[in-house]
Amino acid sequence: MLNLYQLPDTIDSTTTFADVAGAFSGAPLRTVDIDALLAKPGGIDSTTGDSIATDTTTHRLILKVKFDSLQLPYVAADSGKLGFGIRVGATTPASVSFSTREDPTSGGSTVTWFMKVDSIKGSDTTLVRERYPRGTRFDTYVFDPPVAPLDSTLAVGGAPSARSILHVTLPRGIRDSSQIIRGTLLLVPAVPARGAPVDSFVLEAHTVLADFGAKSPLVLDATRTDTTMIRVGATDTVRIEVTNLLQFWSADTTRPAVILLRSQEEGAHPSEVRFYPSKAAAYRPSLRVTYAPRFPFGVP
């Protein structure tokens, strides 16, 4: 169920959850039952004028919601600018993702004004009907996160998004004098990954250019990044194949042996996972390395 509210058109990147709480406290402009709309013939509600269809290429749902001039009057002084807020309601935990204006495949949401212009001239009594589509100027989401627990777990994701850093002690005999064949990072979740069931997310393991703790700059290179999928609600051990990272350290021993964990779409959704830290002896992060020692050539 989507509930649509009208918000001030002055919302921007500094707008917080508290700033718009009042606008969401009243009755919504419209309520759209997505499941009921999908069940209608052709995905069209003949009463409200709403419609929904599936893009056969991207498999995204394209939703059109119709408002009348009483619900959304055109304000000439504002040039037809509108501010919308959307809240999701369901009987079980649910979430929805909307295309943003940065999306090159869709360009985000649009509003189309339908104008009827009186063009009577002499005996011509034709009414001219025009359509004026307008794109999205700004879009974002606000979130009221729960208070973070005061513990030492390794948090990744969430909103605001968190990252975790692992310092790895790799024996010199392996790093300097062996061929690294495979490396697997093992992480044990301290609690089930949090989020809506459909919000499973990709966790990335990066190397860094320099070790400055929380401000360490990432190496943004696909060959220096390894990933795995985090399933919401799961507590199974997470395994990340980090062979690329270990081979990178072996090729250049001046690089810091640091792994930075982050959500691939950090800040885009509130899903979060927390792993046991190093001080949890039974569940601490571990690195499993397969390597081949250098061949000991004999002396002739």
- pLDDT (tens digit per residue) in 65-114: 999 888 888 887 777 788 889 998 887 767 788 888 877 777 788 888 88
| Residue 156, pLDDT above cutoff 80 | yes
Give me the pLDDT at residue 132, please: 77
| Residue 126, pLDDT above cutoff 80 | no
Give me the pLDDT at residue 190, please: 92
Query: Cα separation of 284 and 187, whole Å?
Result: 7
| Residue 198, pLDDT above cutoff 80 | no
Per-residue confidence at 261, pLDDT binned at 50, 70, 90?
Answer: very high
Give me the pLDDT at residue 69, please: 84
Give me the pLDDT at residue 52, please: 93
Mean pLDDT of the chain: 85
Catalogue the E-assigned strands of the chain.
2-7, 30-32, 51-54, 61-64, 83-88, 110-118, 127-135, 154-157, 164-167, 178-187, 201-206, 225-230, 238-241, 258-263, 272-275, 286-293
Per-residue confidence at 120, pLDDT binned at 50, 70, 90?
Answer: low
- By DSSP bridging, strand 286-293 and strand 154-157 are unpaired
Give me the pLDDT at residue 166, please: 93
| Residue 237, pLDDT above cutoff 90 | yes
Vertex 47: Cα angle to 45 and 49 (nearest 5): 60
Per-residue confidence at 260, pLDDT binned at 50, 70, 90?
Answer: very high
Residue 159 DSSP code: T
For residue 162, give both structure tokens.
């968190």
Vertex 106: Cα angle to 103 and 108 (nearest 5): 70
Query: Cα separation of 264 and 129, whole Å?
Result: 46
Region 260-280: what's the mean pLDDT?
A: 88
Region 54-61: what's the mean pLDDT?
A: 84
| Residue 123, pLDDT above cutoff 90 | no
